[in-house]
């Protein structure tokens, strides 16, 4: 890109946000904060609270809200609806809370119950009408939003054999992906009659999958690529261009497939990965480092390969639990850590050539 000349890529720490009194587990940028509003970031953690961060006129980031006294255990995950008006929070108290956000205030308008154990993750579908949750009870639940802040559970899926770590909807299709302590990645779709099924399972045995807990996943913007990260210290890239939302027929045997494994970059568990709209993959790990990767377009090998753009050692004082690119500013990355802080990073220089 011309604006960055030929300078090497650098990840510069721009802001350090303090306030959480325990580890910070998860981050979520509001995808639609509203006309004229700047970026809005939600963070949640072991202190049972959710913090909302906004940038003031002078450029400093401030905590504008603390949502607490609703969950009585760790808040493990948070997610915004596509229209930015709702925030879902998943907790170790076995519940998922839904908060209505009107630009200034938050009101808890629903509580989703049913999981037997800690809820690990929550995700909104691209249409905003479906919500997915997953838990240590090995199940994945799919909820449909109804009028009047009601949520109907439309499916309870039991395919995983262990703790389910994360759920994430495809950015375009109503296809859901779950990743688990059982080392597998499962893909779920509706067969057209409101019956949800596992349509593909990616494991070490037959799909070049991970050899230990899979912690997180992220799609690229178009939804034809996915990255997963694991306790096996690797990131894997998958071709997800096949449309699994269509019922399978005898002549339609397409499936998702493994493209590449990124190994040797992190020496502890990789807890988070996120794919930016500029096609840069960020990863955060238990080695306290952030890595950035991009596809190596000069490579002559068959199939795509990915190269390290940079590794930011000691990005935090402790494990990094979540990395998320800002949707309004694709050069801004947020990270969350066991050290109780959230950091905002600016990516500068030439990252893509």
Partner 1 sequence: MTVGMINANPVVHERPERAAHPHPADAIDALDVFDTVRDIKDPEHPYSLEQLSVLSEESVSVDEKLGRIQITFTPTVQHCSMATVIGLCLRLKLMQNFPPHFKIDIKVAPGSLANEESVNKQLNDKERVAAALENPNLRQLVDECLCSNDSHSH
Instruction: Report, in Å, the least distance between residue 343 CB and partner 1.
Output: 16
**Quick one: DSSP state of residue 43?**
E
Contact residues: partner 1, CB under 8 A: 23, 46, 73-74, 76, 92, 117-118, 120, 136, 163, 165, 181, 212-213, 231, 268, 286, 288, 317-319, 338-339
Question: Quick one: 195 or 317, whose CB is closer to partner 1?
Answer: 317
Instruction: Report, in Å, the least distance between residue 231 CB and partner 1.
Output: 8
Question: Quick one: 122 or 347, whose CB is closer to partner 1?
Answer: 122
Instruction: Report, in Å, the least distance between residue 73 CB and partner 1.
Output: 5
Question: Quick one: 77 or 276, whose CB is closer to partner 1?
Answer: 77
Q: Are 192 and 174 contacting, i.e. CB atoms less than 8 angstroms apart?
A: no
Question: Quick one: 92 or 106, whose CB is closer to partner 1?
Answer: 92
Instruction: Report, in Å, the least distance between residue 136 CB and partner 1.
Output: 7
- CA 20 vs. chain centroid, Å, equals 20
Q: Cα–Cα distance between 108 and 96 in angstroms, integer?
A: 11
Question: Quick one: 50 or 175, whose CB is closer to partner 1?
Answer: 50
Beta bridge partners of 252: 249
Q: Cα–Cα distance between 321 and 215 in angstroms, integer?
A: 10
Question: In the sheet where 281-285 sits, what is the strand order?
Answer: 270-275, 281-285, 290-295, 306-312
First-to-last CA distance in the chain?
8
Residue of 316, 342, 332, 337 lying closest to 19 (CA atoms): 342
Question: Quick one: 43 or 74, whose CB is closer to partner 1?
Answer: 74
- Tally the C-alpha atoms within 13 A of residue 5's C-alpha that lie toward its C-beta: 2
Buried b (16+ CB within 10 A) or exposed e, 298-310: eeeeeeebbeebb
Instruction: Report, in Å, the least distance between residue 90 CB and partner 1.
Output: 12
Phi, psi angle pair for 122, to nearest 5°: -145, 145
Instruction: Report, in Å, the least distance between residue 10 CB and partner 1.
Output: 24
Question: Quick one: 218 or 321, whose CB is closer to partner 1?
Answer: 321
Instruction: Report, in Å, the least distance between residue 132 CB and partner 1.
Output: 19
């Amino acid at each position: 890109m011309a604006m960055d000349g030929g300078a090497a890529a650098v990840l510069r720490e721009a802001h350090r946000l303090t306030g959480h009194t325990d580890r910070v587990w998860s981050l979520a940028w509001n995808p639609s904060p509203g006309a004229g509003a700047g970026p809005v970031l939600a963070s949640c953690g072991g202190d049972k609270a959710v913090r909302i961060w906004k940038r003031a006129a002078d450029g400093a980031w401030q905590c504008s809200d603390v949502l607490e006294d609703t969950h009585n255990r760790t808040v493990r995950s948070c997610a915004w609806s596509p229209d930015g008006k709702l925030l879902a929070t998943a907790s170790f108290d076995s519940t998922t809370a839904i908060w209505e956000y009107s630009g200034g205030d938050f009101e808890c308008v629903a509580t989703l119950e049913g999981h037997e154990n800690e809820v690990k993750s929550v995700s909104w579908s691209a249409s905003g009408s479906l919500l997915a949750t997953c838990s240590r009870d090995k199940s994945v639940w799919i909820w449909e939003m109804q009028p009047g802040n009601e949520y109907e559970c439309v499916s309870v899926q039991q395919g995983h054999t262990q703790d389910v770590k994360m759920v994430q909807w495809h950015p375009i299709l109503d296809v859901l992906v779950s990743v688990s302590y059982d080392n597998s990645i499962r893909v779920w779709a509706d067969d057209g009659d409101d019956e949800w099924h596992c349509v593909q399972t990616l494991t070490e045995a037959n799909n070049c999958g991970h050899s230990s807990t899979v912690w997180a996943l992220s799609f690229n913007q178009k939804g034809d690529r996915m990255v997963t990260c694991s306790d096996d210290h690797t990131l894997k890239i998958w071709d997800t261009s096949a449309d699994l939302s269509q019922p399978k027929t005898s002549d339609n045997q397409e499936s998702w497939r493994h493209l590449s494994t990124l190994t040797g970059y992190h020496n502890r568990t990789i807890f988070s990965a996120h794919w930016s709209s500029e096609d840069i993959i960020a990863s955060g790990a238990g080695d306290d480092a952030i890595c950035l990767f991009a596809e190596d377009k000069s490579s002559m090998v068959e199939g795509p390969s990915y190269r390290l753009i940079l590794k930011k050692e000691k990005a935090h004082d402790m494990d990094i639990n979540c990395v998320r690119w800002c949707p309004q500013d694709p050069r801004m990355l947020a990270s969350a850590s066991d050290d109780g802080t959230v950091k905002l990073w600016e990516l500068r220089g030439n990252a893509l050539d």
